[in-house]
Amino acid sequence: MVIIYKYSLETFTQEFELPLGAVFLHVECQNNNPMMWFRVNTENELEKRTFTMIATGQAFEPMDYRFLKTFIQGNLVWHLHEVNPYYT
């Protein structure tokens, strides 16, 4: 079954088990908490995927990041990336 699921970003870098082929749709704060939405097929096996939030002006080590979206949380501006996505 294809459905849209919401996942909470609780740390700067976080690993999730998502159904294989989950499609990122959006990131935004809901009640000041960063949330990601994905279109998933619940019949697919799970795979581990890692996401990181990088603040504007924050230094970070160059890695295989795929930029997803910029969002605002209060006074902070975050830039969400997927770490080492399998389709890069």
pLDDT digits (tens, 9 = 90+) for 3-52: 999 999 999 999 999 999 999 999 999 999 999 999 999 999 999 999 99
Please count the CA atoms within 13 angstroms of the CA of 31 that sit on its side-chain side: 1
Of 64 and 82, the structure prediction assigns the larger pLDDT to 82
Q: What is the pLDDT of residue 87?
A: 52
pLDDT of 75 > 90? The answer is: yes
Residues 6+ away with beta carbon under 8 Å from 55: 76, 77, 78, 79
**Domain residue ranges in the chain:** 2-83
- In this predicted structure, the answer to whether residue 88 has a pLDDT above a threshold of 50 is no
Q: pLDDT tens for residues 52-63?
A: 999 999 998 877
